[in-house]
Chain A
Amino acid sequence: MALQLYVWGPALDVPSIDPSCVAVEAYLRATNANFTVVYANDPQLSPTGQLPLLKDGPVWVAGASRILSHLSKKGHDGNASLSAEQVADSLAYISLIEEKLYDCMLFTWYADQTNFVKTIRPTYAKLLPFPTRYFVPIRLRNNAKARLEKYEVEIKDDDDSPLATSETDDLKKLMETGWHHMYTLARDTYKVLDAKLGEKDYFFGDEPSTLDCLAFGYLSLHMYPMLPHHRLRIILTTEYPRLSLFCDRFKKAYFAEPLPQSESASEIPTLWKSFTNSPVEFFSSIKSNIIGQSGEEKKEEKKSDAQLDFERKRIWSIAGAVTLFLGYIIMNGIVSIEVGDDSGDYEEDFGDDE
Chain B
Amino acid sequence: MQISNFIKTLFRNILLHRGLSLLTLLGLSLGIAMGLLVLIYVYFESNYDRFIPHSESIYRLNSYGKIGEDTIYSALSPIPLALESKRTEGVRSATRLMPGLSRVIESKHFRSLESNFFYADSNFFEVFDLPFLMGSKEDFRNDANAAIITVSASQRLFGYRNPIGERLKLDNEIDYTIKAVVEDIPVNSHLRFDILGNWAAVERTISQDTLSQQRTMDRNWLYLNSYSYYLLEDGFTNEEVFARLANQAMKKVNIQIEEAFGSEPPGSGSVQLNFGSIAIHDINLYSDVNNELKDGSNPIYIKAFTAIAFFILIVTAINFMNLTTARSSRRFKEVAVRKVFFARRKDIIIQFLTEAIVYSFMALFLALVLVELFLPAFNTLFNINMSTRGFIQRPDLLWLIIITLFTGMMAGSYPALFYSGLNPISIIKGSSKIKKAGILVRGFLVTAQVALSILLISLTLVMYGQLSFLKNADHGFSTKNTIVIERGVSTPQELRDFKKEIIRTGIVQQAGIAHFSPGEDGNIISFRSTDEEERVMLMATNYVDDGFFKAIGATTALGRLYEASDTSDVTKIIINESAARMIQFCPESNHQIELVGGRTDDETYVYNIIGVVHDIYFENMKNPARPMVFIQNHRNQSPGHIIARLSTAYPKEESIKKLNAVWETKFEGSTMQHHTLQKVIDNFYSEEKRFAGIAFMFSLLAYLLSVMSQIGFAAFLLYYHHKNIRLKTIFTAPYKRIMMETFSSFGIFVALSLLVSIPLSIHTSNIWLSGFYKSFNPSWCYFLIPVVLIASTYILITYVAGKREINKTFK
Q: Do A and B come from one complex?
A: no
- Chain A residues at the B interface, C-beta cutoff of 8 Å: none
- Chain B residues at the A interface, C-beta cutoff of 8 Å: none
